[in-house]
Structure 1
Amino acid sequence: MQTQASPQNITFNVNSTVDATDANPGNGVCETSPGNGVCTLRAAVQEANSLAGTDTISLSNGTYILDIAGSSENASATGDLDILDPLILIGENADTTTVDANGIDRVFDVQADLEIIGITIKGGNGDWPGGGGIMNMANTFLTESMIMSNTISGINQSGGAIYNGSRLTIVDSQIISNTKTESGGISAGIYNSGYLTVTNSIFQKNSSNDPFGSGEAIFNNYTGKVILSNVDFHNNIWEIDTKCGGSAIESKGILEISNNTFTGNGTAVSIGEYWEYNPLYTPFPSQTIISNTLIAHNYGDCSTAFEGMIHMDGNLAEVTIVNTTIYSNTGFNSAGFLSNRGTAHLLNVTVTDNKFSWQYDRANGIHVEPSTQYITSSLFITNSIVTNNGFQNCIGEITSGGHNIDSGTTCNFNSLGDKINTNPLLGPLANNGGQTLTLNPLFGSPAIDAGDNTICPTIDQRGVTRPLDGDNNMVAICDIGAVEHEYSPPELLYLPAILK
């Protein structure tokens, strides 16, 4: 039982996993009946909502199941836990401390600032507008926590894990196995129309059985901004066909990706929106920056999948890709980078070993649709490698800024420093340092010291300084591709002299 010494900034220590309401919300004492000393999570939330200031609720190890049914109530008396006043919610750790809505409602409806530390949030089933685990309309900070096995099941609901309409920060956390089961809504993971920042976290196995689903991990709406740093995306797909997928991320707003890894998803990133046959439709400007990232072993191997592991579709869509490897992806129509509409800039990018399974008139590496009366599509590429992408590396109007390598002749590389019919001699995908796996140029690679220093980034995909003297001629020149080769002399074999 808590004291009544101060009505502000109280810490409530929950001592029961039972779901029961507070006896007298606002008196500063968390207990389900006068004098019994039983403090439940729901009772603690009701007390915190009724008191001014930022209160703290501490949860010990255990599973806190919400089983008082009744959605659309906004005082935490039934259904979800409504956060109406600033609150800090602390668990022992996410492996041992769980809040489970048991399918009766979403878990948290956040209307005031909330910080969650060391807790698993699961079993939520959100109503409109969405958010199976959390609906955030304030400023929420989530750290060392897990959002898992939540769902949205109504038509036109979005965000199986989280619906973010304001500001959400996620650090050292996991968004896992959340679902969307009806059509019309968007994203089994996070739907964002506000400001979303994610760092050092994982999105895994978020899925939808809606064949028109998109952004299974994150959907970023026109008004949204998303910043992702050191985030892994694995197996975020359409459940309806596990060889196919909408996209791990779909963004119509501002998106910044750095040091991320995408594996086992459908399309990795889909950008922009435009209705080709409606000249009166005004596309929204979509801006995306992808840097120091690995996109590998993803698959969109069905006719309804997005085309390309990075898919652009919007006249006002702009994407810049730097120090990024697009490797060994499989698609139905195009497997590497597809620009239907919009403007793309690729700098020190490696696109290799991508395959598609059907259309012969599409490129495995980079495919740029031709511009028309209503479509504007352009791609500029510098200091990059496009190699070994099946039938053909490139199709479409591609402008070379120079210093590129094409293992064939289809990319129209004819500027200063370009190399065609050239094997870049790349090593296997491996841990060569840094946050992501990379393809390191082998000793003697034509990519070494062959780039353009005037436009070269200051680091490579691993974070290693550019330029380096990769061929030991005492001149530091940027390498072509995502990785800067660090010179080491070939090993010499010394044999002892044979004395006769």
Structure 2
Amino acid sequence: MLRRSSHRCRIALRGWLLLASLTGVAAATTAGAAICRVDTLGGGDGSAWGVTSTLQGALTNSNCTELWVKSGTYTPTSGTDRGATFNIRSGVSLFGGFAGTESVRSARNPATNLTTLSGEIGAAGNADNSYTVVSMIGISSLGNITASTVLDGFTISGGNGIDPATFNRSGGGLVCDGHGRDNACRPTISNVIFSGNYADGGGAMSNNGSNSGDGSPTLINVTFSNNHSDAANGGGAILNYGYNGNSNPTLHNVTFVNNGSNRGGAIYNAGSDNGSSSPTLVNVTFSGNSASVSGGAMYTVGGTPTLSNVIAWGDSAASGLEIASISAFTTISYSVIQGSGGSGGGWKSSTGIDGGGNRDADPMLGTLASNGGATPSLLPGAGSSAIDNGNNASCTGIDQRGVLRPQGPRCDIGAVEVINPDNIFADGLELR
């Protein structure tokens, strides 16, 4: 039948609800969870919206295992201690995007009720901001950080790990630390925006699995924009550090825009001394990232990253325009990689291992915008090389906005699946 509706609003609303249900974040509660409600004025125990807790109070309360956080801006301290951070312990889930009246988690809307974790403390400007806004520290004797530790529906901004007076730190936005024997940090991070963070390495995020540890989070529907690392180190957005250990994150429906560093404008993978830094990227988009030396999108030393249905286009570097590696083997399939030559005889081996189905043609990406869902994305335009050229066997079931894949005969490459225009009439009528 025909149903009249606003196409953009329909994508935003249905996209969020579908995304929430398929990623498991829309259930009324987490099984066995003790819910604590949080807002910026909290002073109660969090048992109801009328007696909300502060965020730091809920994080330190062992009775609080699921936190519902009302829209607003939260800082780790009201003072000037740059070492203050939001420390998320094992098994705790944080959900942002609440208006402050909801009785079920599925009623929240992170796209409308913006919830920001900010490092902006002290004086205006970032010089005295928090070193790291959010910390997840996995220690086997106290409880490793597992997939049941969730951060969902937030913007993380304003972290600054640079301090010339002492020493510089990695992970301005978030540190996932599982370094050391038997320690692990493997949280689930979904529907999160990292923007405007700065650090020595991993401007937005540092995943440390060194010294026989494991730092391997799962990222779903996440956007990294305008994050930077110090010129001496790498990973404008993410540093994966697997020196003599493992740092093998999984990224699904993730967008990187306008991040910058020395090496790896968006991602720096550092695995050496029998360690591994081998992330798995599925339906990820890179654009506008820059590296002053090499690897505009990603740089790897010691590891075997796997890229499937990935766009890396419009990034810049002095060498290794998009993907650069040393002592590493990056396998790339069904992806759009600028300067790669595309699969077959024209493939440039310096890009990585050709897994087939790769293209070197303009994906016609738009600007970063709210295209539906909880996080901003880059929408491919008409004639995009990304449309209907992905691998159905490996693509994600929904895109970054919550749109079902595939819309055509094959999935689209990148974080966004373009709505099939054959299902939409010029006057907005949708074929059902």
1:484 aligned onto 2:417: yes
Q: Report how far residue 226 of structure 1 moved.
A: 1.8
% identical aligned pairs: 26
Q: 1:148 to 1:285 in 2, by over 3 A?
A: same
Q: What letter is aligned with 2:358?
A: N
Question: Which residues in structure 2 correspond to 1:119-158 (within 5 Å)?
Answer: 119-120=53-54, 140-144=65-69, 147-150=74-77
Contact 1:152 1:160 in 2 (8 A): no
Distance 2:89 2:42 in 1: 27
Q: Distance in 2 between matches of 1:120 and 1:316?
A: 39
If asked which structure has higher relative contact order (CA below 8 Å, sep 6+), I would say: 2
Q: In the superposition, relative to structure 1, how do residues 265 and 208 fare at CA in structure 2: closer, same or farther (>3 Å)?
A: same
Q: Which of 247, 251, 258 is the aligned partner of 2:203? A: 247
**Partner letter of residue 202 of structure 1?**
T
Give the whole-Å Cα distance in 2 for the aligned partners of 1:429 and 1:153.
33
1:189 counterpart residue number: 134
2:151–2:189 Cα contact (<8 Å) kept: yes
| 1-structure distance, mates of 2:220, 2:382 | 28
In terms of fraction of residues, the more helix-rich structure is 2
2:153: which partner in 1?
200
- Contact 2:202–2:268 (CA<8 Å) still a contact in 1? no
2:151 corresponds to which letter in structure 1? V
1:259 aligns with 2:221: yes
Shift of 1:327: 1.5
Is the partner of 1:262 in helix, strand or coil? strand
Cα offset, 1:397, TM superposition? 5.5
Q: Which has the larger radius of gyration?
A: 1
Q: Structure 1 pair 147/423, CA: closer, same or farther in 2 (3 Å)?
A: closer
Q: Which residue of 2 aligns with 1:409?
A: none
TM-score by length of 2: 0.64
Distance in 1 (alpha carbons) for counterparts of 2:413 and 2:35: 49
* Deviation sequence 1:262-308 (CA, Å, 0-9, x none): 1121221111232xxxxxxxx112221111122112233xx5xx633
Partner of 2:300: 339
**Secondary structure at 2:419's aligned position in 1?**
coil
Segments of 5+ residues of structure 1 without an aligned counterpart are 1-85, 100-112, 125-132, 239-243, 275-282, 372-376, 407-421, 470-475, 493-500
Q: Could you tell me which residue of structure 2 aligns to residue 293 of structure 1?
A: 254
Distance 1:395 1:197 in 2: 38
- Relative to structure 1, the CA distance from residue 206 to residue 427 in structure 2 (aligned partners, 3 Å threshold; closer, same or farther) is closer
Asked if the contact 2:88–2:134 (Cα under 8 Å) also holds between the matched residues in 1, the reply is no
User: 3-state SS of the aligned residue for 2:248?
Assistant: strand
Instruction: Select which of 134, 151, 168 maps to 1:212.
Output: 168
Give the conservation status (yes or no) of the 8 Å contact 1:161–1:175.
Answer: no
Mapped partners of 1:426, 1:450: distance in 2: 15
CA distance in 1, matches of 2:249, 2:321: 22
- Determine helix, strand or coil for the equivalent of 1:437: coil
- Structure 2 vs 1, CA of residues 166 and 159 (structure 1 numbering), >3 Å: closer, same or farther? farther
- Aligned counterpart, 2:329: 378
1:175 maps to 2:117: yes
Partner-residue secondary structure (3-state), 2:410: coil
Paired letter, 1:318? S
The verdict on how the C-alpha distance between 1:355 and 1:138 changes in structure 2, with shifts beyond 3 A counting, is farther
- Once residues 446 and 397 of structure 1 are traced to their aligned partners in structure 2, the CA distance between those partners, rounded to angstroms, is 19
Letter in 1 for 2:185: G
Answer yes or no: is the 8 Å Cα contact 1:187–1:217 preserved in 2: yes
CA distance in 2, matches of 1:161, 1:216: 10
Whether the 8 Å CA contact 1:119–1:144 is kept in 2: the answer is no
Counterpart among 337, 341, 357 of residue 403 in structure 1: 357
Q: Which residue of 267, 271, 290 corresponds with 2:240?
A: 271
Distance in 2 separating the partners of 1:299 and 1:319 = 19
Structure 2 Cα separation of the partners of residues 263 and 340 of structure 1: 24
Contact 2:222–2:255 under 8 Å retained in 1: yes
**Helix, strand or coil for the counterpart of 2:396?**
coil
Aligned residues: 327
**Separation in structure 2 between the aligned mates of residue 425 and residue 88 of structure 1, nearest angstrom:** 44
Equivalent pair of 2:395/2:411 in contact (CA under 8 Å): yes
Which residue does the alignment assign to 1:105?
Answer: none
Corresponding position of 2:397: 458
Return the offset for 1:336.
0.8
Say if 1:438 and 1:395 are closer, same or farther in 2 by CA, change over 3 A.
farther
Structure 2 contact 76–133 (Cα < 8 Å) conserved = no
Distance 2:376 2:137 in 1: 29
- Is 1:265–1:299's contact at 8 Å kept on the other side of the alignment? yes
Instruction: Write the distance in 1 (CA, Å) between the matches of 2:68 and 2:191.
Output: 14
- Give the 3-state SS of the residue equivalent to 1:441 in structure 2: coil
Q: Give the conservation status (yes or no) of the 8 Å contact 1:150–1:178.
A: no
1:442 aligns with 2:366: no
Measure how far apart 1:477 and its partner are: 2.6
Alpha-carbon shift at residue 219 of structure 1 (Å): 1.1
**Structure 2: how far apart are the matches of 1:165 and 1:459?**
29
The structural deviation recorded for 1:383 is 1.6
- Distance, in Å, in 1 between the alignment partners of 2:288 and 2:64 is 39
Shift of residue 167, structure 1, vs aligned partner: 3.5
Aligned CA RMSD, in angstroms, stands at: 4.0
How far 1:174 moved relative to its partner? 3.4
